[in-house]
Each structure stands twice: as structure tokens, then as C-alpha cells.
Amino acid sequence: MHRMTARATELLAERVPFVHATVVRAQSPTSARAGDDAIILSDGTIEGFVGGQCAEQSVRTAALDALGRGESLLLRVLPGGGEGFPELPGAKVVLNPCLSGGALEVFLEPMVPPPVLYIVGETPIADAVAALAESLGFAFAAVRSLEGNRPEGAVAVIVASHGREEPESIRAALDADVRFVGLVASGRRGEAVLGGMDLTKPERERVHTPVGLDIGARTAAEVALSIMASVVRAIRIEGLTAPTTPAPPPPRQAVDPVCGMEVAVGPDTPHRTIEGVEQWYCSAECRDH
């Protein structure tokens, strides 16, 4: 457990998404015990222990699905029928014919790095946005300017510098492919700033000014609330995401021809070629059947 905690801390610091799997119940006979845990990376790699090879395949497949949806899941792996454990939101039963008996319940928790917000400026509004962003679970960088602070991987950049290097900050954010750039300014002044920048139409559509939902805000805290509401709305409703390098494709799925179980194909997945056709198995036992 301590080793997995250290590894999870390392991955979070590197902003690598993963699933933390913890065995919460193990019915004998099974090789796993309650408290065993593992980390499943987006390429299907498993670090740690949550059961033998057959159980591991079921956990891997469910974990990758949970990571893709960003939702936690309680997985029950059974050798036979799933009586007594209904399919409910957040709970799933997997029938694994390779298990020799017993059952496992594994809690799968996706660990996705928080979105990064860059806040430009040393002003009361910038300070208020930073305080609210932190309470909302954002990772943020508060900087005086974007000179030497390219906002790589930011979901949004908020320019609240009140006239100081605004065109430079907006250009730096656009060049970093940030898809939500907010300028704190009146409508007239904001249009004047953007009008002098020779933006393309797609670039102009990524810049929001005056930034924030219209809630009649007057104080710095209220303006910050309107700004963060617009950012959250863009993420939750409009699908705003941070620019990222292309993620590796998820592992290919195959069906074990012996037991019928779905398996994630990886470097260590048992397989063999029969008459020129590759076949993948949940375990060496099924492969050698």
C-alpha cells in the first residue's frame, strides 16, 4: 500500500492519468486479499496486485473503461452467476469463467490531473480568481505576465492585468493552443485591444471579453465568480479541454476463444498463432487448453 501511495503521488505530480484499484472484499478461494491495490495506466499496464492473471484481465478492462468515462466503479468479479449483486449505477458485475472459485470486489477510482488555469496579472481580480480556482479544485499558476511562462497544457488563461501587456499575453496563450482565453476589460476596451491584434477568425472565437457570465458583478470576488462560472460551464457543458499531446491509443480488446472472456491485448497477454491467425487469451491455462 505504501509503495502504491508513493507511485500515485509521483504520477499525480507528473500529471499522468491512472486508475487506483483497491480490493475491498475477497471471498475464498482467491489469491487477492482485502487491501491489495494496484495502479492501472492508460496503456493497460498494471503495477501492483489485485488478483491472479484471470482476475487481472477483468480489472484491467473495467479500469480502462472507468478511466475513459472519468467515473469511479465498484467491480465484482464472479466465477458464476451474479445473484445478490445487482447492476446499479456505479456498480458492475463481470463473470469470469477462469476463476477457480471465490469472488472479488474491487473499487476502481480514476485519478485524473486537475485542469490547469493560468491567471495573468497582479490585481485584486487576479487574486480573487486564484482563490476561487483553488477552492474549485483547479491547479493554477498566477503570473505577472506570460513572458517566459508559456501556458502549456492550460485549459484556460485569464488575463486580468488591467492594460499591462494584454496583447502579448493573449498572443502567448493563443500560440500555446489554449482554447479559452479570457480578458478582463469592458466591452469597448476589450474590442479595442483585440482590434489591434490582427487575429484570425478562429483565434478571435477563442478570446472571451468581457470574460465571465453576466451576473451583475461589482466586487472583485463577484467578478471572479462570474469568470470561474464561465470556465466551468465551458468545461462541463461545452466540452472544453486542455491542449494535449496525442495520447497513446488504448489497448486493443480481444475475446479469449476458450472461455469467451474479453481481454486487453498487451505485451504480456498470452497468445499464439493458429493457421496464421493470432489468438489472445486471458491466461496461459486457456492458451494451453
Q: Domains in the chain and their CATH numbers? A: 2-112 (no CATH), 116-236 (3.40.50.720)
pTM score of the predicted model: 0.67
Least confidently predicted of 7-11, 23-27, 29-33: 29-33
Band (pLDDT 50/70/90 cuts) for residue 219 is very high
Supply the pLDDT for residue 101.
Answer: 67
- The mean predicted confidence, pLDDT, of the chain is 86
pLDDT tens by residue, 114-169: 899 999 999 999 999 999 999 999 999 999 988 878 898 899 999 999 989 999 99
pLDDT for residue 81: 55
DSSP state of 155: S
Query: Looking at residue 68, what is its pLDDT?
Result: 84
Which uninterrupted H or E stretch holds 53? helix 53-69
Q: What is the pLDDT of residue 246?
A: 47
159: which 3 cell numbers? Answer: 488575463
Contacts of 161 (CB under 8 A, 6+ apart): 120, 121, 122, 123, 126, 144, 145, 169
